[in-house]
Structure 1
Amino acid sequence: MTPYLNYNKRILLVEDDVELSSLIADFLSRYGFDVMTVNNGTDAIKQVADLSPDLVILDVMLPGMNGMEVCRELRTFYSGYILMQTALDDDADQMKGLEIGADDYVIKQVQPHLLLSRIYALLRRSERKSSHSNITMEPYTLVCGPLVIDLSNRTVVLNQAPVETTTAEFELLVLLASTVGKVVSRDEILQKIRGFEYDGLDRSIDRRISRLRQKLVLDDGKALIKTIRGVGYQLCVYAEED
């Protein structure tokens, strides 16, 4: 399924990593978004004032004026959505961003389809607010056998029963579901979700996998997430015994 190719909204991407900025812009453009990019906070404020984008993707770590300062300044005149990107999985930074006016956040380097789901989820809010909107957004879903993941509403259903997940668990599940049937290494998971390489010591992914596996169990007791020892993890449509 190719979702929302005609859903044209304007996004300003504020990111000082030129290569990453280009990759994100190209990806979002394929889904019908009009993406503009700037690499510093001062230009971001000017562009928002001039162009009034529907959504701003704002990196926290910017040269000169950082993302927190930019967010605070934008909220003096901008009422659109702000999605912050942070390189650190730090609750304090995330809470601060939300307190000063951000609508949501993602951890760099976020898996592309998860970023897309966050954008859709934010833009759906404006669609709900407008009773005169002529745009209908259908749920964008990943379907893996009995498992259905709605990226727009950030919901998970297994065998028609809802599954509660944390934000971190949802991000991990989307990554596994995007490569269903393939083994994803710890290093790849850390690179895509948290932005750094696996050092052989970090066990946070193992713990997250363990919690998620307990939630994704079929009626016959088989878990949908399989551990491939020494390699990584695999989401199976019909799980085998570990």
Structure 2
Amino acid sequence: MQHLDPDRLVLLSLAEEAADEHESAHLAGCATCRDELRTLEHVAELGAESADMRDLPPPPESVWAGIQAEVARATAPTALPRRRLRRIPSGDRRRWLAPVLAAAAAAVIGIAGTAVVMRGLDRPPAADVTARATLAPLPSAPPDARGDVRVLSDDEVVVDVQNLPLTTGFHEVWLIDPDDTTKMLSLGNLPARPEAVLPVPPGTDLNRYRLVDVSDEAHDGDAAHSGKSLLRGTLTY
């Protein structure tokens, strides 16, 4: 059976042109051409999935060198004039098509891999932990309640608490001056999950406000500390 021109299959896989009536009829009856078209379409889909990767550096030269080598090995032994491509036997067609498809897939993977690496390089370095505190339960909390606090170098505090009692209000995190417990700063409310990341107010002296407190607050519109402390711990450096 005479097969469709491989160049034509490439165009059809890229949706550059629609199959005409003869080609549609041929594809309906030729399993070889259908399989090759599906394979080409799959490679085209891989390329389309990476289309949103803009403003990326070119892939490494080794990717393109590998593609050129594969294509050269695939085409050199069986290179035929363009007018005879329609008469390539199915076995030779597969030997010609397989490495070319592999090379195309390698290009897509290489570009995607470059994107992942560059995106990783663009990420800011992870913040360092500059201070820690272990939160212990006070008499108003269950004995198994506990928490851990980490102060990060980017002026954020990571608060991880467990086994706090249920509340009809909310739990709030405070920084307190242990030398004068009337001096305190609110870091914010704890969400309905164990861990929260809260910003440290600009200009806060953590050497002074080194006592971390978790309180039980009511929805009463009063921004002051309720006086119901559940957990406490002191920051250490």
Q: TM-score, normalised by structure 2?
A: 0.19
Higher RCO, Cα 8 Å, sep 6+:
2
From the CA coordinates, give the structure whose radius of gyration is larger.
Answer: 2
TM normalised by structure 1 equals 0.19
